[in-house]
Amino acid sequence: MITPSSAADPSAARPVAAAAPAETATAVGRRPPAAAFRALVALAAATGVVIELSISTSVLRTLSYFTIQSNILLAVVLTLSAWHAWTARPPLNPLLTGGALLFIAITGLVYHLLLANSSSGFSMVGDPDFVMTAPHQAANQLLHTVTPIGATLNWLLLTRPGTYRRHHAALWLTYPLAYFAFALTRGALMPPGAPARYPYPFLDVEAHGYADVLRNAVVLGLAFYALALLLVTLDRIRPEARPPKTGFRLRPPVR
């Protein structure tokens, strides 16, 4: 029996559609191109690390470098990200992915601006302890150039914007700070004159003293924090990369 109120209001006879959950609106499907690109960058990082370890006279010394550690972290994070993209799982925590991006960016920038720059006060160009053989040159390019560029392209083209938060910048700095403490402690425990006692010239207490090394650490720490804040800001304002149009249009269902 139809009551007068239901007859006057046709919408009363229609079921009200439930609102879609938030996670449904943001769900993503399988993304094979993103998975493939991330796997390639992870492979580049792993290849560079394996080459360095295979030609090194001391595995532990090689593993003590920030370059090696940041590339290992990047390889792990991008491998997991590739698997998530391939299997349509949600993206990894931005605190983890953003940290991996920041650390590999630090690796690339410090190398090209300081260590490989003959005009800087911390250049390692011409150092007899770092002779560049062909395998070392290949690994050097993979670890300091290919992986930072690849990680940056992955961030800009294959991730959603607006996931980084301002407090992430301070949290990301805990690793460089821990590395600084590790490098000084390791150097203090090693005998004077030991090869690569301090992994980088700006951390060399034997050559510069603790006061200058601490000053270097403060300057670099502030620069790293500024870079982290820049990543957060750019992540908020950058446009979202959209897949190319295929030329096909979906027609509404026939009722």
Please list, in sequence order, all residues whose beta carbon lies within 8 angstroms of the beta carbon of residue 85, skipping any fewer than 6 positions away. 30, 31, 32, 34, 35, 38, 158
Question: Binning pLDDT at 50, 70 and 90, where does residue 6 land?
Answer: very low
Residue pLDDT, tens place only, 147-168: 999 999 999 999 999 999 999 9
pLDDT bucket at 126, cuts 50 / 70 / 90: low
Cα(140)–Cα(59) distance, integer angstroms: 16
- Tens digits of residue pLDDT in 83-102: 999 999 999 999 999 999 99
More confident residue, 39 or 130: 39
Q: In this predicted structure, which of 15-19, 112-116, 213-217 has the lowest mean pLDDT?
A: 15-19
Inter-residue contact 117 to 123 (CB < 8 Å): yes
Rounded to an integer, the average pLDDT of 94-111 is 98
With tokens 């560029």, the residue in question is 149
Proportion of the chain above pLDDT 70, given as a percent: 81
Choose among 250, 57, 73: nearest CA to 172: 73
- Is the confidence at residue 50, as pLDDT, over 50? yes
Q: Which residues contact 32 (CB under 8 A, 6 or more apart)?
A: 85, 86
What is the model's pTM? Answer: 0.83
Buried b (16+ CB within 10 A) or exposed e, 82-101: bebbbeeeebbebebbbbbb
Q: Read off the amino acid at residue 116.
A: A
* pLDDT tens, position by position, 211-242: 999 999 999 999 999 999 999 999 999 998 76
The rounded percent of the chain whose pLDDT value lies above 90 is: 73
Tell which residue, 37, 18, 8, 57, has the closest CA to residue 152: 37
Summarised one tens digit per residue, pLDDT across range 162-204 is 999 999 999 999 999 999 999 999 999 999 988 889 999 999 9
Position 82, amino acid: A
pLDDT band at 118 (very low <50, low <70, confident <90, very high): confident
- Rounded CA-CA distance 137/139 in Å is 5
What 8-state DSSP symbol labels residue 154? Answer: H
In angstroms, the CA 169 to CA 102 distance is 9
